[in-house]
Amino acid sequence: MSEFWNSRIKKLSPYVPGEQPKDRQIIKLNTNENPYPPSPKVIEAIKNAAGERLRLYPDPECATFREAAAARYGVKPQQVFAGNGSDEILAFAFGAFFESGEKAAQILFPDITYSFYPVYANLWDIPYRTIALAEDFSINIADYKIPLGGGGTCGGVIFPNPNAPTGVAVTLDDILSLAEFLEKQEKVLIVDEAYIAFSGAPNAKSAVRSINNHPNLLTVHTLSKSASLAGLRFGFAIGNEKLIEGLCRVRDSFNSYTLDFLALTGAAAAVSDTAYYDEITNRVIATRDRTAGALRNLGFTVLPSSANFLFVKPPRISGAELFAALRRRGILVRHFNKDRIADYLRVSIGTDEHMDKVLEACREIMSN
């Protein structure tokens, strides 16, 4: 704490990212990174771009990427926004679409979800209320439909689909039903689709195709997970042109050049190489489902996952005990010491070899 901090900073509790160990011998399954390398076309594009062009500023409009993403997702380039990771876009979205101040209506998000949401709300001075997940850790869309004048108004809604850290998905029908409800109240629905590629089929449950029918619907995406580009820091949003304009207004009030030329070039190549990424996504899904079945056979509670991770509860021992036991064996997963989920661990899906070692370790721990 410093006497030079303003009152807003003093009250903040910043987001704590997953540990990044220096020991490369550790099997790192704590931050939902993709176990497979990026597309060779991405690496080649970045290598070719690393030249004299770097003396110039990058394109603030991100036109090349927006055109590539528009072609990939069947939307207009004007309906695409590019940002320095999806976290930056989410921060811009909170500032663009949710009202600040004590008298503003509360925005809604789940009580167990991405822990950056309350951080952004506090940073922007946005009132919020968390909605409890159902007993099975699913999101009940009816809980977010607060009628005008009935129990207080709603300032907007945000949640991931699939949810994190649970991996449980919301149906597209439910999302569109909520978007329609909120549209009548002139409120925005933000669906954070960081893990949607792992739902079981390419874009099967994504809300992207519905943005033209719901002008208040914004989908947020990242290349960190399915595109194996966590180190590139690239995200994008897809929504109505007016929503995209709102994001641009916030971005350009901070920094018009949030993305460098190499990142833009690599990202454009990534969204264009669907064949490569569909293949590795299907490999991750197959490994996830195999691992989930094996853990259930060991007596674990395993939530149904539509993401590239599993949320699991061990039998007979606590989540903290299993976390420590796995770490002693060189396996790093994520433990959230919070109400309702303290006995669960989030396990990112690695290669088949990685997950075999996880299963071997769990068998050994459970037999002691």
Determine the CATH number of domain 17-37+275-367.
3.90.1150.10
Q: Determine the average pLDDT of the residues in 68-97.
A: 97
pLDDT of residue 368: 81
Cα separation, 289 vs 293, whole angstroms: 6
pLDDT at 150 over 70: no
pLDDT at 14 over 90: no
pLDDT at 336 over 60: yes
Cα separation, 125 vs 361, whole angstroms: 45
For the stretch 344-367, what's the b/e string if a residue is b when 16 or more beta carbons lie within 10 angstroms of its beta carbon? bbbbbbbeeebbebbbebbeebbe
Which tens digits make up the pLDDT trace of 26-38?
999 999 999 999 9
Amino acid at 237: A
Per-residue confidence band for 203, with pLDDT thresholds at 50, 70 and 90: very low
Per-residue confidence band for 190, with pLDDT thresholds at 50, 70 and 90: very high
Six token digits for residue 293: 């079945």
Q: Determine the average pLDDT of the residues in 124-129.
A: 96
Per-residue confidence band for 99, with pLDDT thresholds at 50, 70 and 90: very high
User: Fold for domain 40-272?
Assistant: Aspartate Aminotransferase; domain 2 (3.40.640)
pLDDT of residue 135: 97
Q: Determine the average pLDDT of the residues in 155-178.
A: 96
Rg (CA), the chain: 21
- CB-CB neighbours of 61 under 10 Å: 12
pLDDT of residue 205: 84
Q: Is the peptide bond before 202 cis (omega within 30 degrees of 0)?
A: no
For the chain, the domains span: 17-37+275-367, 40-272
Per-residue confidence band for 290, with pLDDT thresholds at 50, 70 and 90: very high
Per-residue confidence band for 202, with pLDDT thresholds at 50, 70 and 90: very low
pLDDT at 89 over 50: yes
Q: Determine the average pLDDT of the residues in 204-229.
A: 95
pLDDT at 13 over 90: no
pLDDT of residue 20: 79
pLDDT of residue 201: 53
pLDDT at 23 over 80: no
Q: Determine the average pLDDT of the residues in 72-83.
A: 97
pLDDT at 204 over 60: no
> What rounded mean pLDDT belongs to the chain?
94
pLDDT at 60 over 50: yes
Determine the distance from the C-alpha atom of residue 68 to the mean position of all C-alpha atoms in its chain, rounded to a whole number: 21
Partners of 221 in beta bridges: 236
pLDDT at 151 over 70: no
Region of residue 114 (phi > 0: left; psi between -120 and 50: alpha; otherwise: beta): beta
